[in-house]
A and B are shown apart, each in its own frame.
Chain A
Amino acid sequence: MVSRVEIHPGRYHDSVRLMQASKALQDVPGVTDALVAMATELNLSLLADMGFDMEATTSAGPNDLLLAVRADNDDTIATAHRVLDDALTHRAAADSGLTVPQPRTVGTAADVNGANIVLLSVPGEHAFVEAMEALEGGRHVMIFSDNVPVSQEVILKQRGVERGLLVMGPDCGTAIVNGLGLGFANAVHPGPVGIVGASGTGIQQVCSLLDDAGVGVRHALGTGSHDLSEEVGAIATLQALAALDADPAVEVIALISKPPAASVAARVRAAAAGCSKPVVVIFMGESTLEDGAAEVLALMDKQQTALSWPTDQDDHRRGTVRGLFSGGTLRDEARFVAMPVLGPIGTKELDSITRRNSDHTFIDYGDDEYTKGRAHPMIDQTVRIDRLEEVAVDADVGVILMDVVLGYGANADPAAELVPAITKAVASGAAVVVSLCGTQRDPQDRDRQAKTLQAAGASVWLSNAAAARQAARLATGG
């Protein structure tokens, strides 16, 4: 065992750096004790406590550097000197600039860019706190998340009214504000139409039909699927309606919802009737998105385009119609259109094991029970493709009807993924009818998507109702 005590007069380092240096020395293999410090009275007494020879320190003062090492041999002492020099001269690489920490709450994130809209897709149980913070900060909110308790939705929307802020959602899939799509939204031209919608795919379908007829959309304000329920009482719908009525750039308003509660429907109709501008009310189950879009177009002196990419599919095999949808509202519209022709249409798989269905069945694969643990079918088509492949070889099924929804947020190339299964279905004798919801400027290139699907043997329709009529016609041989 060797020990060494050295004094380096006038060599000053701050105490933190010296403590780091002491630690570095203590970590050298073979070193049993080490102290690097300014030779203050305190440190000299520490040195004495550690049992070092104090002889070298008699004239040392607080401006002198003290080094003491006890080690197994002289080589270790030499190593310790090198480590000490490194520790006392080392400088961390210069940082090029400040990395600001990532915001952890939407409030902070919104402060960064002065956001006027907060878009939330956190798990539904946590959305309320974040949304309330956004409202307290004077920001509008779109809540994409589902599974937010309706009692919280009511509080949020009441707070929104108090503050003059719009709460879109919960379960709001689509909005377009001044041309910017939020959630699942299509690239529309700016124009004179304002849309209020409790249904995301309903908004997308109407946008697509209007856009193709050359009529643009100024705003599409989603309200969330529960807004027209008895409990919520259409709070956001009424707010949005009034706001669009007050917007001088809006000429015609379309209001879209699944069937609302009766009392709520009356209140909404009254508000619509009280607007200074024409309001086309589309309550699913009473009318269709297609009819609603046509009514809006008529008010603008325009006509629906009835765009389609047809295929001769009259000699398909006979059988039931199986609807494989990703949009709930599109499923509802198709069912509403096809039911008078086909008779009863189921909405559930009758037997979840065999997935056999004796009758016509239209299923919404965007429903909660199919999306657990995976993304929405507008993004991840795996489940729908699996079903398509099964149905393709099901001799009971004659016609397969499906929607493909394009736009921001949706699958980048859905047609390419669907082609193998469609080809297989057509080869086995089934007819495949596709309702293609999108605009020309959507990032997926709508016309290319349509032609790819058409080339695989499907008939493709821009109007979901038109696709449903085609499916019904094929099934009844009409």
Chain B
Amino acid sequence: MRHITDLLDNEPVVATAGTDMLAAAIEQQGAAVSRAEWRPPVAGSETALAKLAADGRMEEANRTAIARMLAVRPHLVDVGVARDVFTDMTDRTLFHAGPPLEWERASGPMQGAIIGAMLYEGLAADPDDAAVRAARGEIELSPCHHHGAVGPMAGVTSPSMPVAIVEDAAGDGVSYSTLNEGLGKVLRYGAFAPEVIDRLRWMDRVLGPVLGAALRRRGPIDLQSLIAQALQMGDDGHNRNRAVTSLFLREIGAVLIDGTEAPVEQRRSVFEFIDGNDHFMLNLVMAAGKLGSDAAAGVTASSLVTVMARNGTDFGVRLSGTGDRWFTAPAPPVDGLYLGGYTEEDASPDIGDSTITETVGLGGFAMAAAPAIVGFVGGTASNAIQRTLAMYEITMAEHPAYQIPPLEFRGTPVGIDAARVVRTGVRPQINTGVAGKVPGTGMVGAGLVEAPMECFTDAINALADSL
């Protein structure tokens, strides 16, 4: 009875949902009311939501899952080679972004990246040969996410590629990502021209070994600390990584100079490569995110979104409480701004594992921190702030390390709750790059996309069925 006594002893403070008349009647008495702008839940989710509410385990499960996500301490420790790092990777295995996919259903940029990776690995003589072999099933495709890894855009990871290794300093998790190739005509955007393949070869010959040696010499780099600083320097961690890349260079600079046995031209070229690529750190921010995502997986009854990822054909979502299942819907088009003469006609549907950043409170969820890229959301800083503020409604926590200066250093909204997504109809906001739809084109623009509601409705129904 203690709580009911509290009700009777204290001044009543009221929040309302429903007819405004009742809220107005309270205000007529001189009391303040907080109103919810309530709308019915997404059609097809009502029964599942009621079952989850009645079951009662979801709240506690979510507290457990989000705590695990936030407890990881991602440290960049080394750079290895994919075939060594992934024990289940054969010479003919290619990892890719998003949910599982077959060659036939793959989008232009995904097919282009697969072709490029086959050329790079010597699995095909030319692009046509690669397409034929891929169609014949000579290549084994598998999502990065099934291997503790993530890759931006096409996310194609092949056995010879250098792979960054991120370990949890507070636990035993490990996550991986490829190294970022830069902008323009690059494999992850589906380009496979000779210059693309040459750059990949340089990356496995020079970039990977030099960086790995420097890291081993220096010791682990605390990625969360770098990302937290970068948010206060105008990064969102998805579409803007200029600050975090600069911070990384300061961390690694000294050991690049004298910490490796590599010839000085190689050390210099590594420094210049990182310096010349504002998105160098994107892949590492993603790997840091994957560590939290994996840590939060597998909590029974939890509606926490652990994965949002796209393969250019499907948009896929996984929940902590529904195990390894993917809930997919067609990948939506991106509302974007385009480079040069490209238009939305040239754009491929949404692609990439980089939405891992949004699942851990970065990217679209930290848009308010990145005024330099507000052009993507209509051009005003207040618009960017609105977008981030809207995400607090569908998330479970405010990030303890990632803070947003214009929001008085409020933590970023983190831990997407699929139940709240379907209850409110508010969809996760994603910042993203746009790939050209014709294989080999590369990047054509960047912009915004909202996760398809269908994924969340299906996921919530499956979660309810699992109890």
A-B contact count (CB 8 A): 243
Contacts A113-B13, A117-B14, A247-B5; A182 near B54 (Cβ below 8 A): no
Q: How far is the CA of A155 from the CA of B50 in the complex (A)?
A: 11
Residues of B contacting A130 in the complex (Cβ-Cβ under 8 angstroms): 17, 38
In the complex, B172 has a CB within 8 A of chain A: no
Encode contact with B along A13-51: 1 for CB under 8 Å, 0 otherwise.
Answer: 010110110110000000001010100011101110110
Quick one: which of A82-103 are within 8 Å of B by CB?
92, 95, 98-103
Number of residues on chain A facing chain B (CB within 8 A)? 86
Q: Type the 1/0 row for B1-38, where 1 means its CB is closer than 8 Å to any CB of A.
A: 11111111111111111110111011011011111111
A113 to B362: give the CA distance in the assembly, Å.
27
Q: How far is the CA of A23 from the CA of B344 in the complex (A)?
A: 11
B15 contacts which chain A residues (CB < 8 A)?
Answer: 106, 109-110, 112-113, 115, 117-119, 139
Check A116 against B12 for contact (C-beta < 8 Å). Answer: yes
Cβ of A353 < 8 Å from any Cβ of B? no
Q: How far is the CA of A128 from the CA of B40 in the complex (A)?
A: 12
Q: Across the two chains, which residue of chain A brings its CB closest to B380?
A: A92
Q: How far is the CB of A101 from chain B (nearest CB, A)?
A: 5
Instruction: Encode B177-190 as 1/0 by CB contact (under 8 A) with A.
Output: 00000011000000
When the two chains form their complex, are residues A19 and B445 in contact, meaning their CB atoms are under 8 A apart?
Answer: yes
Within 8 Å of chain B (Cβ to Cβ): is A386? no
Q: How far is the CA of A101 from the CA of B341 in the complex (A)?
A: 37
Asked if A393 is at the interface (CB within 8 A of a chain B CB), the reply is: no
Q: How many residues of B contact A (CB 8 A)?
A: 74
* Closest partner residue, chain B, to A114 (CB atom): B13
Q: Among B18, B37, B374, which residue has its beta carbon within 8 angstroms of that of A144?
A: B18
A159 on the B face (CB < 8 A): yes
- Asked if residues B393 and A122 are in contact (CB atoms below 8 Å), the reply is no
Complex Cα spacing A230 to B41, Å: 31
* A102 B3 Cβ-Cβ under 8 A: no
Q: Does B390 contact A (CB under 8 A)?
A: yes
In the complex, A219→B11 CA distance in Å? 12
| A443 near B28: Cβ-Cβ < 8 Å | yes
B386 within 8 Å of A (CB atoms): yes
Q: Is the CB of B380 within 8 A of A106?
A: no
C-alpha gap A27/B214 in the complex (Å): 49
Measured CB to CB, the residues of B under 8 A from A are: 1-19, 21-23, 25-26, 28-29, 31-41, 46, 49-50, 53-54, 56, 59, 183-184, 337-341, 372-376, 379-382, 385-386, 389-390, 392-393, 407, 420, 423-426, 445-446
Q: Could you tell me which A residues sit within 8 Å of B by CB distance?
A: 14, 16-17, 19-20, 22-23, 33, 35, 37, 41-43, 45-47, 49-50, 92, 95, 98-106, 108-110, 112-123, 125-126, 128-130, 132-133, 136, 138-140, 144-145, 152, 155, 159, 163-166, 177-178, 180-183, 185, 187, 218-219, 239-240, 242-244, 246-247, 375, 379, 408-409, 443
* Closest CB pairs A-B (n = 10): A121-B18, A164-B3, A16-B375, A115-B15, A95-B382, A46-B340, A110-B15, A132-B53, A19-B337, A109-B36
